[in-house]
Each structure stands twice: as structure tokens, then as C-alpha cells.
Amino acid sequence: MKIALFATCIVDAMYPRTARATVAILERLGHEVVFPSGQACCGQMHVNSGYFKEALPVVANHVKAFDTEDYDVAVAPSGSCVASVKHQHEMVARRCGDAALEARAAVVGAKTYELSQLLTDVLGVTDAAEQLGSHFPHKVTYHPSCHGMRLLKLGDRQLDLLKSVGGIEMVELPEAEQCCGFGGTFSMKNADVSSAMMADKAANICGTGAELCAGGDASCLMHIGGGLSRQGSGVGTMHFAEILASTLENPATVPGNVQLAGSKR
């Protein structure tokens, strides 16, 4: 299968390792990965902040980059960005009165998958140790991000994949479904409430005794990791793609503090 990678702006710029891990997993399964070079961002930050006018060219750029027949499916290692592509792009186009863009956005949205969704529903991965050679001998807890859980209805897909990794010890996170408090510009506009939510999430994570917290959204992980780091907890965060990409031969390093992945950058 020919798979177009949507790296998302934050992964591209801040956590390239997550995108590289995504490529590694898909290629290990024998698929061809392409990277539409015109891509930049899904525009979620603009939309969620009410800047529809500014969102339009961002949405148009994404649609242009992915509006080609030359791949079978598109994938992104981010629930919230996929939710934006699937649920917001048409709305932005409609609101700005661009019917042609709206129609093209619908086509792109229908072809776009979140990584665990693609692995589970399309590529039939149920056992990461067996099918991907995933090995990660660490104690890990897992936070399901809101947009993946509620907008994409990912259910336990990410968690089930993690549980099937060789050597891993998964521990349950209390109040896992509570929002971590990131919410894009919410973390700036309502910094106090956001911090209070993050503090509760961090306390729950530390209470599990896990070495790190895994998740499927770089932005939430940056938020949680940033809090854990400020508290000097020594507990890190990591994208589930990097755990899946880790093997016995090439193990991923366990991050501490705010780093999302291995210490070498």
C-alpha cells in the first residue's frame, strides 16, 4: 500500500522522532511511505481559537498537498490533527464560502487515518511484538487524548497495541479519560485552569510508578511532559509510535523529563 504521511507541524518541528518511528513501522510492514512536501499544518490552532479567516489558507494548503490520487491512504501520528482534517476542514471551507474546497476537503478527510486506526483497522496489526518486532522492556502508563478518544472514537486501539509490545509492563492510569488541560491556546488564555488540570494529570501519572507516560498526541505529551519536568519528577512522556518502533536490536531510549523520545537528537 502507498501511504502518505502527514507529519503534523508539531511533530515535524519538535518531535521528528515520532514521524521517523511512524515511517519505520509502516515500512517494516512492507508499505511504501511518501511525504507530500507541500504539507504544513492542519490549522486546528487557528480554528479552535476562532481565527477562521486565517485558517482558510492553512486548510487550503493541506488539501492541496494531499489532494492527489497518488496514494492509497494518508496517516498522521496525532488524533487531534486527524480529527481536525476529518471534522473541521469542510466546516472552515463552508464558513468561508468555498464550496469547491469543501468538496475536496471531504475527499482528503475520508482518506486520512490516525496511526493506531490505520494499523488496527486497515493493516490488521493486532500483535506488535509478533508483527512489528516491537520490544520495549519498561513500565509504562497510558493517557488517551481527548480528540482521539471522543472525536475519532479510537477506543482502546492505541492501548491494545502497546499491550502487545514485547517486554512492556503496562500500568493503568487513574482518571485516564480526564483531559490533560492542554487545549491549544486554552493553555495560554486560561493558564491557571490548564495548570491545575495538568497538575492532577501529573500526580496521577506519578502515582502509577511508571517510568513514562505514553500517548498518541505530541501536543498533549509536550504539555504533560512539560509539567512533569517542571516538577522534577524524572518521569517522561513518549509517543506510542516510538514504542512500537523500538526493537530488541534497536531499542528506543527511555526519555526523562520533557523529551518525548530517545536522548540523542
Partner 1 sequence: MSNTFLGMPTLPVFGHGNLNATEKFPKAAHRELGDAQLRANLGHATHTIRDKRLKVVAELPDWEDMRDAGSAIKNATMARLPALLEQFEANFTARGGIIHWARDAQEANEIVTGLIRATGETEVVKVKSMATQEIGLNEYLEEQGIAAFETDLAELIVQLDHDKPSHILVPAIHKNRRQIREIFLREMADVDPALTDEPARLAEAARKHLRKKFLTAKVAVSGANFGLADTGTLTVVESEGNGRMCLTLPETLITVMGIEKLLPSFADLEVFMQLLPRSSTGERMNPYTSLWTGVTPGDGPQNVHLVLLDNGRSAALADEMGRTALNCIRCSACMNVCPVYERTGGHAYGSTYPGPIGAILSPLLTGIKSEENSSLPYASSLCGACYDACPVKINIPEILVHLRGEDVDSKRAKIKVPSQMDLMMKGAQWAFSDGAHLNLLEKGLPLGKLAAGRDKVIKKLPGIAAGWTQSRDIPAPPTQSFRQWWDKEHVAPAAVERSQDGSRNTEGEQA
- DSSP collapsed to 3 states, 155-187: CCHHHHHHHCCECCEEECCCCCCCCCCCCCCHH
Do residues 218 and 9 make contact, with C-beta atoms less than 8 angstroms apart? no
Q: Restricting to residues 30-49, which ones interact with partner 1 according to CB under 8 A?
A: 30, 32, 35, 37-41, 43, 45-49
Residue whose entry in the numeric block shows the C-alpha cell 481527548: 146
124-153: which residues touch partner 1 (CB under 8 A)? 146-147, 150-151
SS3 content of the chain, % helix, strand, coil (to 5): 50, 10, 35
Stretch that binds partner 1, among 18-26, 67-75, 120-128, 157-165 (CB under 8 A): 18-26
Q: Which helix (H) or strand (E) holds 199?
A: helix 191-208
Site for partner 1 in 71-100 (CB under 8 A): 95
Report the alpha-carbon distance of residue 16 to residue 194 in Å, rounded. 26
Which residue from 3, 4, 17, 158 is in contact with partner 1, where contact means CB under 8 A? 17
176 binds partner 1 (CB under 8 A): no
Number of residues that bind partner 1 (CB under 8 A): 91
Q: Which of residues 182-211 bind partner 1 (CB under 8 A)?
A: 182-199
Residue of the chain from 140, 154, 214, 260 that contacts partner 1 (CB under 8 A) = 260
* Identity of the amino acid at 250: N
- Cβ proximity to partner 1: between 73 and 186 the closer is 186
Choose, by CB under 8 A, the member of 78, 141, 219, 246 that binds partner 1.
246
Query: How many CA atoms, within 13 angstroms, populate the side-chain half-sphere of residue 161?
Result: 31
Cβ 140 vs Cβ 162: under 8 Å: yes
| Smallest distance from partner 1 to CB 31, Å | 8
Segment interacting with partner 1, rule: CB under 8 A, options 105-113, 118-126, 157-165, 217-225: 217-225
Nearer to partner 1, 12 or 169 (CB): 12
* Site membership for partner 1, residue 52 (CB under 8 A): yes
CB of 69 to partner 1, least distance (A): 19
CA distance 69 to 66: 9
